[in-house]
Each structure stands twice: as C-alpha cells, then as structure tokens.
C-alpha cells in the first residue's frame, strides 16, 4: 500500500495522521481525516461516518470495535479552547467511510483505491457484486445528471429547454436517437426512467458523457443556450466514436436491463459478511481484544 496515493493536507498524509491508543491499537481522528477526504463541512462528513457505521454492522462486524465517540479540543482566539465532537476510527472504519463517501470528490475516489486491504474479503456472489456495482453507478449518474443540469443553467440553458439539452446528449451518444426513441427501441415503458433500465456498461458511458459535457461547458465558458446544446451533442458523438474505436457495443444495441428497483431490493435482502483478520476485527481494542480472546 503506497503512502502517497492519498493527497496530503498541510504536508500530512493518511499514515501521518495515525495515532495509537491505550490498547496499543492504531486509530485516526475523524476531524483530521475530514479535510484529507475533501470535506469542508463536518455535518456532511458525519453523514458519511453514519453510513459507514451502518455498513459496519451490516457486514457482520461490531461498530464498537471501529468507531468510538470522542471530544477534540480546538483553539479559539486569545488562548481559549472549545471541545467539538469527534470520533476515533480504526483503519477498517476509515475504509468504510471512503466507501460511503461522496463519489464526486476526487479525494474519495483516491481513498477507495488506497484502502484496498488484501486481508479482507467480502463473501459476495458474482451476481451480488454486479448488482452493487450497477446500483452505485446508477446513484452516481443521478448525481451527475443534477450537476450537469446546474452547469447547463449557468451556461444559459433555460428551464423550458432542459429536455432538449439533455436529449441532445442522448442523440450524440445513441446515433441520433433521443430519450423516447431509445425507450421504444429497447422496449422500455415510456413512464420509466431510461437510466433505471441501463446496465453498468451503459450507465458508465452516460456518466462519462455527462461529466465531460459539464467540464466542457465550464472550460470553454459557454454562456449561450444553443451553443450549450450543440456542445452536449458533440460530446455524446465523441464518446460514441471512442466506443466504436475500441470495439465496444453501441449503446442503442445494449438490451434493457432489469429495473434498478428490483436490484436494490435484492441487495437489501442479501446479508454479505466482510471477514477481517483477528487484528483488524479487534480494531480500536487492539491488544485488549487479543488478550480477551486468549483468556
């Protein structure tokens, strides 16, 4: 695990922030980790911590071994101090926070790669692993759609033209087919959301189209409605051309996938267990957990 895969804040890396508690176990302060993972607001970072707590419990591990509530003293003006809420986190807790963080943040994307821990293995069937990947991509495309809509508005696209703007991207990527035409071709009911019926490959292509369009609008400083619409269609065409060059399936030829709601239900009913080695399972208890086991 390379120490330089995560960006440093004020010269400190993830490993530099590590501390050791009275049990001889390594831990990280949530307040220290917050900035490293790209969060400026504690409230939003704590939301990621709470999701990680839930994931910890659902994976069959004891949250008390990995998340400990604590206070942290911060300096005020004129030498004063104030206690703020904090958490002591095990390495596994930091890993779960990265997995449950905002996927739009580049720091989170880097952290997810950083916390690839070989001693942990998730007992997931191939189907469940594919379901989780698709659901995560669907969530990301939903967020990217909102972000692109905001960028389009800044670029001069009026609310009544949003449908045309988004359809332009589809037409570029799908060889001239708009949203409704794609649904007809794939046999998707008109009342359903098209992205709810895309598989992981198709979702990834559309997410790339949207992120690249958003960057293009900002990079070129586009402030004209028609220019923004043309830019979106052009990006769609470029993504389509890239798919064709590498021999990928054209998106209009990819069959409609199972509705994402069914996938989400299947994931919720599954009970995967994330197995940890003995040291990691003890987390914040460290040596105390080992002694207790040997007692």
pLDDT digits (tens, 9 = 90+) for 212-267: 999 999 999 999 999 999 999 999 999 999 999 999 999 999 999 999 999 999 88
Residue whose tokens read 């607001």: 41
Judged against a pLDDT cut of 50, whether residue 2 lies above it is answered with no
Residue 9 belongs to a domain: no
Query: Is the same domain home to 24 and 84?
Result: yes
Q: Which domain holds residue 143?
A: 127-269
- The answer to whether residue 5 sits within a structural domain is no
User: 98 and 62 share a domain?
Assistant: yes
- Give 112 or 188, the one with higher predicted confidence: 188
| 281 and 288 Cβ atoms separated by less than 8 Å | no
Quick one: pLDDT at residue 122? 47
Distance CA(169)–CA(171), nearest Å, equals 5
Query: Residue 295 pLDDT > 50, yes or no?
Result: no
| pLDDT on residue 82 | 59
Establish if 3 belongs to a structural domain. Answer: no
* Same structural domain, 236 and 133: yes
Question: Does 294 have pLDDT greater than 70?
Answer: no
Q: 167 lies in a domain?
A: yes
pLDDT above 60 for 160: yes
7-21, 157-171, 223-237: which range is least confident on average? 7-21
Count Cβ atoms below 10 Å from residue 247 Cβ, excluding itself.
6
Which of 4-13, 113-122, 274-283 has the largest mean confidence? 274-283
- pLDDT value at residue 285: 84
Express as a percent the part of the chain with pLDDT over 90: 59
User: Which H, E and C letters describe 159-181, residue by residue?
Assistant: HHHHHHHHHHHHHHHCCCCCHHH
Return contacts of 163-167, CB within 8 angstroms, 24+ apart. Answer: 164/229, 165/228, 165/229, 165/232, 166/232
pLDDT for 250: 97
The verdict on 161 and 250 lying in the same domain is yes
28/119 same-domain check = yes
The pLDDT of 161-167, averaged and rounded, is 97
Contact 250, 240 (CB under 8 A): yes
Q: Verify that 36 and 69 share a domain, yes or no.
A: yes
Give CA–CA dist 95/33, Å, rounded. Answer: 11
Angle formed by the axes of helices 200-219 and 162-173, to 10°? 120
Q: 3-class secondary structure for 130-154?
A: HHHHHHHHHHHHHHHHHHHHHHHHH
Answer whether residue 288 shows pLDDT above 80.
no
Residue 132's alpha-carbon distances to 125, 227, 239, 272, in angstroms, are 11, 37, 25, 11
Say yes or no to pLDDT of 169 above 70: yes
98 and 194: one domain? no
- Contacts of 124-130 with CB under 8 Å at 24 or more apart are 124/270, 124/272, 128/266, 128/267, 128/270, 128/272, 130/200
28-37: pLDDT as tens digits: 999 999 999 9
Q: How many domains does the chain have?
A: 2
C-alpha 131: how far from chain center: 15
Residues 91 and 163 in one domain: no
User: Residue 116 has what pLDDT?
Assistant: 58
Q: Can you tell me the distance from the alpha carbon of 158 to that of 247, in angstroms, rounded to the nearest whole number?
A: 37
Ranking 3-7, 47-51, 81-85 by mean pLDDT, the lowest is 3-7
Give per-residue pLDDT as tens, 246-255.
Answer: 999 999 999 9
222 and 288 belong to one structural domain: no
Same domain flag for 137 and 28: no
- pTM of the model as a whole: 0.57
In terms of domains, do 119 and 131 share one? no
pLDDT per residue over 74-93, tens digit each? 555 555 455 668 999 999 99
Q: Are residues 250 and 279 in the same domain?
A: no
Flag whether 152 is in a domain.
Answer: yes
pLDDT of residue 61: 87
Domain assignment of residue 52, yes or no? yes
Instruction: Report residue 104 as tokens.
Output: 């739009």
Q: What is the mean pLDDT of the chain?
A: 85
Report the pLDDT value the prediction gives residue 123, as an integer from 0 to 100.
47
Task: Report yes or no on 150 lying in a domain.
Answer: yes
């Amino acid at each position: 695990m390379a120490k330089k895969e995560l960006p440093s804040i004020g010269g400190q890396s993830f490993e530099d922030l590590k501390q050791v508690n009275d049990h001889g176990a390594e831990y990280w302060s949530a307040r220290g980790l917050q900035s490293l993972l790209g969060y400026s607001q504690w409230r939003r970072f704590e939301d990621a911590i709470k999701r990680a707590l839930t994931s910890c419990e659902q994976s069959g591990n004891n949250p008390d071994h990995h998340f400990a509530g604590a206070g942290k003293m911060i300096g005020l003006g004129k030498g004063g101090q104030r206690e703020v809420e904090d958490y002591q986190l095990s390495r596994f807790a930091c890993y779960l926070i990265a997995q449950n963080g905002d996927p739009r943040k580049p720091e989170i994307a880097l952290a997810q790669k950083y916390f690839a821990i070989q001693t942990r293995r998730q007992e997931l069937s191939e189907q469940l692993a594919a379901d989780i990947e698709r659901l995560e991509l669907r969530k990301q495309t939903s967020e990217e759609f909102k972000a692109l809509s905001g960028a389009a508005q800044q670029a001069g696209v009026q609310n009544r033209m949003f449908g045309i703007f988004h359809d332009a991207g589809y037409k570029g990527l799908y060889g001239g087919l708009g949203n409704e035409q794609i649904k007809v071709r794939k046999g998707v009911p008109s009342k359903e959301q098209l992205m709810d019926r895309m598989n992981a490959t198709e979702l990834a292509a559309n997410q790339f189209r949207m992120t690249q369009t958003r960057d293009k609008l900002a990079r070129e400083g586009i402030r004209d409605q028609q220019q923004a619409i043309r830019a979106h269609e052009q990006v769609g065409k470029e993504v389509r051309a890239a798919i064709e060059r590498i021999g990928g399936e054209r998106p209009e030829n990819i069959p409609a996938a199972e509705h994402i709601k069914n996938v989400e239900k299947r994931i919720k009913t599954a009970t995967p267990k994330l197995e940890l080695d003995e040291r990691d399972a003890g987390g914040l208890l460290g040596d105390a957990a080992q002694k207790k086991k040997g007692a």
